[in-house]
Amino acid sequence: MAPGLLITIEGIDGAGKSTLADSLSRELSTRGATVELLRDPGGVDTSERIRALVKDRELAFSPRTEVLLYAAARAQLVEQVIEPLLSNGAIVLLDRFVDSSLAYQGAGRELGMEAVRAINRFATGSLIPDRTLLLRISPAEGRLRQRKRSGAVDRLEREGDGFYSAIASGYDELAREEPGRIRVLDATLPPEQVLHDALKAIGDLLEPPPTSR
């Protein structure tokens, strides 16, 4: 059986990651692919409980505690769900992964990219996405979209503009470092255009392998 694909979707809050994840999952499923859509942190009971913890507005965490909690949730998700799915040839669409911690805790919390990368390398068993779709939007536009959404603001979403500017810069740095893996998409475009661009960005991964003669 051919190995599966891990495709991650990244970006600052308000970039439209969940919208793209849902539409991309539906589109790939209609093409006959076995697709599993997951979120990080979350996806399994243990990780969902950690997700609720890190988003709780009533709690305060040091930056180190925060990054370790995210890594713990990620470790459980990888071992319990992602690795078995990939072994069975599925396409795993993941709303956030290690790049989120690199941008949010490495850059936003100023823990440093390399320290956060080392923690997550251990947590994930060095699992690297086959392709990452980075939805780029200005921090100001992202915050505006956040304010228009219904629902309570979580612990991270109430951070200031400087925090989100640092995160956006962190994502840009990652994109420059790994242009082969990370494909940048314009998140200000209409959702149908973003989906079109996303499909184009992963098109080479979906092509069937050449047949041997």
CATH number at residue 62: 3.40.50.300
The answer to whether residue 212 sits within a structural domain is no
The answer to whether residue 213 sits within a structural domain is no
Convert the pLDDT of each residue in 17-74 to its tens digit: 999 999 999 999 999 999 999 999 999 999 999 999 998 888 989 999 999 999 999 9
The answer to whether residue 52 sits within a structural domain is yes
For 136, list phi and psi in degrees, rounded to 5.
-95, 130
Three-class secondary structure assignment of 181-205: CEEEEECCCCHHHHHHHHHHHCHHH
Segment (H or E) for 183: strand 182-186
The mean pLDDT value for 104-126 works out to 97
The answer to whether residue 211 sits within a structural domain is no
What domain range is 199 assigned to? Answer: 5-206
**Total domains present in the chain:** 1
Convert the pLDDT of each residue in 126-157 to its tens digit: 999 999 999 999 998 988 887 777 666 677 77
- In this structure, what token pair is assigned to residue 71? 């890594």
CA 137 – CA 10 distance, rounded (Å): 11
